Copies of this chain bind each other. A is one copy, B any other.
Amino acid sequence: MRTPASPQSDSTIHGARLVVNLRAIAANYRKIAALAAPAKTAAAIKADAYGLGLAPVARCLAKAGCEIFFVAHYAEGVALRAVLPGARIYILHGLPDDMADRYIAKRLQPVLNSLAEITTWRKADGQLSGAILNFDTGISRLGMSENEAAKLVAEPGLLAGVRVDFVMSHLSCADEPEHPMNTQQLAAFNILRDLFPGIPASLANTAGIFLGPTYRYDLVRPGIGLYGGSPDGTGNSPFQGAVTLYAKILQLRDIDSKDYVGYGATYRPGGPARIAVAGIGYADGYMRALGNSGFGAIGGHKAPCVGRISMDLCAFDVSSVPDELCGPGGEIELIGPNVPVENVAADAGTINYEILTRLGGRFARSYIGEGADA
């Protein structure tokens, strides 16, 4: 295993660099779209495209055929509109009271989560552009209840003139295929959907798509799978990894059993050891929970993280890495082919989503693959 060549090596001035493979993201999109067809495949691109960069990822997905995008906040919608003037953009977090005119001005479409939001949208826009009606079927987050759905049916005036593109809900346990919540939410969603005959429906995120065709309806909304993440949080992802993270090696130290490494003096080696100090820390999103538990790789050789993670630095035991692969100015892979993001997540006690979305702003970022020059 070798470290892939870098298209640009700005880790010198930043301490670390993130390489996003747009070809992998496009391939992952096409794979999901083929699997989900005849359902359409949208893209969840909130949180700066799961930490990978909204603009290049959005352009890449649009080029791969994606026409419908979901973001969380209005501000994210505005940023995405500037990148994709023609895309359909839904705002998951609904429609605040005084925001309808701003949504309309930017052609942003709300996911309506309450009767009050429906009323606001009806008064402001109504016929012009479609909205999504979101119902909560068991995650107790955003969305209307069964009772509110019944009220919408009983009082048709509430929706008079509102163009409804989809009815939707969101699964809470799709990453655990055997979890009873999945079939419960499916049943609850089918009841709701029957209240709105003829209106297309959407339920599945990445993991939901893999629960089978009955979960796919008319529109699927993958996120993590596009970015290479495994639907069930294991390292067995059917998708291509899209992210590699390298940190610069700032210094090598030869230490022995009397020496401690890092804050709190939590680690010392059993005998002579060589430590590489890397220019990345928890301020970069390399989580503090990885101290004494994570690992990196150099030329495919594993290097365990030793001692606590500092704000801007951390240390790896490179005793078993051949000298010629490991020197100041070299790099250590912290996410990539030899260090799956799911392993990083497990070592940090969290999930791949949090690792990706917390990748910091201090990295040098580069994009490879199709659309990288756009």
Flag whether A192 is at the interface (Cβ < 8 A). no
Q: Is the beta-carbon distance between A47 and B362 smaller than 8 angstroms? A: yes
For residue A245, give the distance in angstroms from its CB to the closest CB of chain B: 16
Q: Is the beta-carbon distance between B96 and A358 smaller than 8 angstroms? A: no
Flag whether A282 is at the interface (Cβ < 8 A). yes
Those of A227-270 within 8 Å (CB) of chain B: 250-251, 253, 255, 259-265
Q: Is the beta-carbon distance between B13 and A74 smaller than 8 angstroms? A: yes
Question: Complex formed: what's the CA distance from A92 to B354 in Å?
Answer: 29
Number of A positions contacting B (CB below 8 A)? 77
Given A253-B136, A361-B361 in contact, is the A141-B99 Cβ separation under 8 Å? Answer: no
Given A94-B250, A262-B140 in contact, is the A282-B12 Cβ separation under 8 Å? Answer: no
| Residue from A113, A250, A263, A275 with most neighbouring chain B CB atoms (10 Å) | A263
Question: Complex formed: what's the CA distance from A361 to B283 in Å?
Answer: 13
Which residue in B139, B262, B329 is a CB contact (below 8 Å) of A139? B262
Q: Is the beta-carbon distance between A277 and B141 smaller than 8 angstroms? A: yes
Those of A12-47 within 8 Å (CB) of chain B: 12-15, 46-47
Given A51-B283, A250-B94, A358-B282 in contact, is the A139-B261 Cβ separation under 8 Å? Answer: yes
For residue A82, give the distance in angstroms from its CB to the closest CB of chain B: 14
Question: Complex formed: what's the CA distance from A24 to B315 in Å?
Answer: 34
Point out the residues of chain B lying under 8 angstroms from A328, CB to CB.
Answer: 114, 116
Q: Is the beta-carbon distance between B362 and A261 smaller than 8 angstroms? A: no
Given A142-B250, A260-B181 in contact, is the A15-B357 Cβ separation under 8 Å? Answer: no
Q: List 7 A-B contacts (CB under 8 A).
A: A48-B362, A72-B313, A73-B279, A141-B310, A141-B313, A282-B354, A288-B350
5 A-B pairs besides A47-B312, A288-B350 with CB distance below 8 A are: A12-B74, A75-B362, A172-B264, A289-B349, A358-B358
